[in-house]
């Protein structure tokens, strides 16, 4: 199939006719049959043609148009576990581009469904999503104690979705997808990395944005800001923490050669919050207050990362220019609260909003020892995925307030060490660090591409490995550099324009 695809790509605008719409569908939608993956049994399956399916709202794996699909809804179970896992496989009725796209979820939801399925189909992919048999509301109290549902969520269900989706695509169109791609951010990014680590044959290209790898560690580190606040004294209000954060940007803005309100490489920012003790800030409208030494200590501790009582770093902190938001105020970050109460303490509903440092350190070690192997998704050995020609592309925001970008770089460095250097790693895994970008978007910096899969397709199918990725939004644009390169102002030109910056 790949030689045919290469011919189609060379014909440019004829690709849709060559790969998709000119090929008659070999099986009517309503006649499609489902073959359960090994280890699973079919509960029910329906296949229905649906027309003018849309998704209203912003998306980040392409534009969401109005699509006509064969919607295959599948429910599977495993042995006597009693689970019922939903899979939605969307097969475009016209214009199939010959490719499959698996999509991920966020938080404790395994799939996003139409939010990512409709854009994928709009771009011509057959695509799929799954709920892993757990609720999409992210309520873990109903499944934390089920071995099967945990396995479903951590890795199994999106592998089974991939097997189902490829098989149904072949049955519907008469041939296998020529290429398969994964798209996901946060939990979806972790799922993509899980595919590369556990099921390297599933995908040719994986986009893993701000991946929630190191799960056993980040869920605990996300509680650290609240622990710092809980250590004693009156909690520092967010307005003060934000004011200190703004001061850190002002102090380090020029490190990249231009004043643009962004820190291109926070690792170079040596800002100490104690330097702004005594600074007056406004909180709650016209109320003026002053930054105290304790305020500065709290900000520094959050920035410097989760440490034990002896000062040993357990996991990374949030970077200068990052809004601390709900991690630093009661009741804390919901996913961390769920992880502690449900998975670690096995006490759903327990109030865990007042944990101190010594308690959190113990819980961290418990999390790593009990859940690291299954949940961590941080195996740096990607040799099998590399050997089959797979490519992974990741972007991560330096201003991510939920998943420290340093965790992604920690993983990248371990991959580099195991693979034999940066040059070798560049063959299959590239990371792009975006100044001022929040978690999967947001923040004051340029925003994520409208279609993060497109450059991955160019890399997989044409061998055009990305050196930069264009981000734009908030009145500015940047060609984000492949790490470890970083942006530097050229010395002339509008600081808001990508053309005024270079990678060094």
Enumerate the active-site residues.
186, 400, 439
Asked whether 398 and 266 are in contact (CB, 8 A), the reply is: yes
As given in the structure block, the two tokens for residue 369 are 């020892």
The C-alpha atoms of residue 141 and residue 195 are separated, in whole angstroms, by 26
List, in sequence order, every residue forming a beta bridge with 478; answer none if it has no partner. 471
Asked whether 21 and 144 are in contact (CB, 8 A), the reply is: no
Q: What is the dihedral of CA 107, 113, 118, 124, to 10 degrees?
A: 100
C-alpha angle with apex 80: 76 to 85, nearest 5 degrees? 20
User: Quick count: other Cβ atoms within 10 Å of Cβ 53?
Assistant: 18
Range list of β-strands (E), 221-283: 280-283
How do 85-92 and 99-103 pair as beta strands?
A: unpaired
Asked whether 249 and 320 are in contact (CB, 8 A), the reply is: yes
Q: How far is CA 395 from the centre of its chain?
A: 8
The C-alpha atoms of residue 128 and residue 202 are separated, in whole angstroms, by 13
DSSP-derived secondary structure for 329-377: STT--HHHHHIIIIIIS--TT---TT--HHHHHHHHHHHHHHHHHHH--
């Amino acid at each position: 199939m790949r030689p045919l695809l290469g011919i189609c790509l060379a014909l440019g605008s004829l690709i849709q006719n060559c790969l998709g719409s000119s090929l008659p569908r070999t099986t009517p939608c309503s006649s499609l049959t489902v073959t359960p993956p090994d280890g699973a049994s079919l509960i029910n399956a329906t296949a229905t043609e649906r027309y003018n399916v849309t998704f209203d709202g912003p998306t980040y794996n392409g534009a969401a148009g109005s699509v006509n699909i064969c919607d295959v809804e599948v429910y599977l179970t495993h042995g006597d576990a009693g689970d019922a896992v939903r899979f939605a496989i969307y097969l475009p009725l016209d214009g199939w581009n010959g490719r499959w796209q698996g999509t991920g979820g966020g938080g404790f939801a395994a799939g996003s469904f139409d939010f990512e399925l409709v854009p994928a189909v709009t771009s011509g992919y057959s695509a799929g999503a799954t709920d892993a048999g757990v609720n999409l509301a992210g309520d873990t109290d109903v499944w934390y104690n089920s071995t099967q549902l945990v396995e479903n969520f951590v890795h199994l269900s999106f592998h089974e979705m991939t097997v189902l989706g490829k098989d149904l695509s072949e049955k519907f169109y008469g041939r296998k997808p020529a290429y398969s791609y994964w798209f996901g951010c946060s939990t979806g990014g972790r799922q993509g990395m899980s595919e590369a680590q556990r099921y390297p044959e599933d995908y040719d290209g994986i986009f893993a944005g701000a991946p929630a790898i190191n799960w056993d560690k980040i869920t605990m580190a996300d509680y650290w800001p609240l622990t710092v606040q809980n250590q004693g004294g009156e909690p520092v209000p967010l307005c003060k923490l934000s004011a200190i954060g703004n001061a850190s940007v002002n102090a380090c803005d020029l490190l990249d050669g231009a004043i643009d309100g962004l820190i291109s490489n926070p690792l170079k920012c040596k800002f100490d919050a104690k330097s702004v003790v005594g600074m007056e800030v406004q909180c709650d409208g016209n109320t003026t207050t002053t930054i105290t030494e304790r305020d500065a200590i709290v900000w520094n501790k959050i920035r410097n990362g989760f440490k034990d009582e002896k000062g040993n770093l357990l996991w990374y902190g949030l970077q200068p220019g990052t809004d601390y938001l709900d991690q630093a105020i009661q009741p804390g970050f919901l996913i961390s609260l769920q992880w502690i109460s449900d998975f670690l303490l096995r006490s759903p509903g327990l109030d865990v909003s007042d944990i101190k440092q010594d308690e959190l350190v113990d819980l961290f070690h418990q999390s790593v020892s009990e859940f690291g192997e299954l949940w961590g998704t941080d195996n740096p050995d990607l040799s099998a995925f590399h050997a089959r020609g797979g490519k992974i592309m990741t972007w991560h925001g330096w201003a991510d307030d939920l998943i420290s970008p340093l965790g992604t770089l920690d993983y990248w460095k371990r991959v580099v060490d195991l693979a034999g250097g940066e040059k070798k790693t560049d063959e299959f895994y590239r990371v792009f660090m975006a100044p001022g970008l929040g978690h999967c978007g947001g923040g004051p910096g340029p925003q994520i591409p409208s279609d993060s899969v497109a450059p991955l397709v160019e890399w997989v199918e044409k061998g055009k490995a990305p050196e930069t990725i264009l981000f734009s939004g908030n009145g500015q644009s940047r060609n984000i550099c492949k790490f470890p390169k970083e942006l530097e102002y050229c010395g002339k030109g509008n600081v808001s324009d990508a053309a005024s910056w270079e990678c060094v």
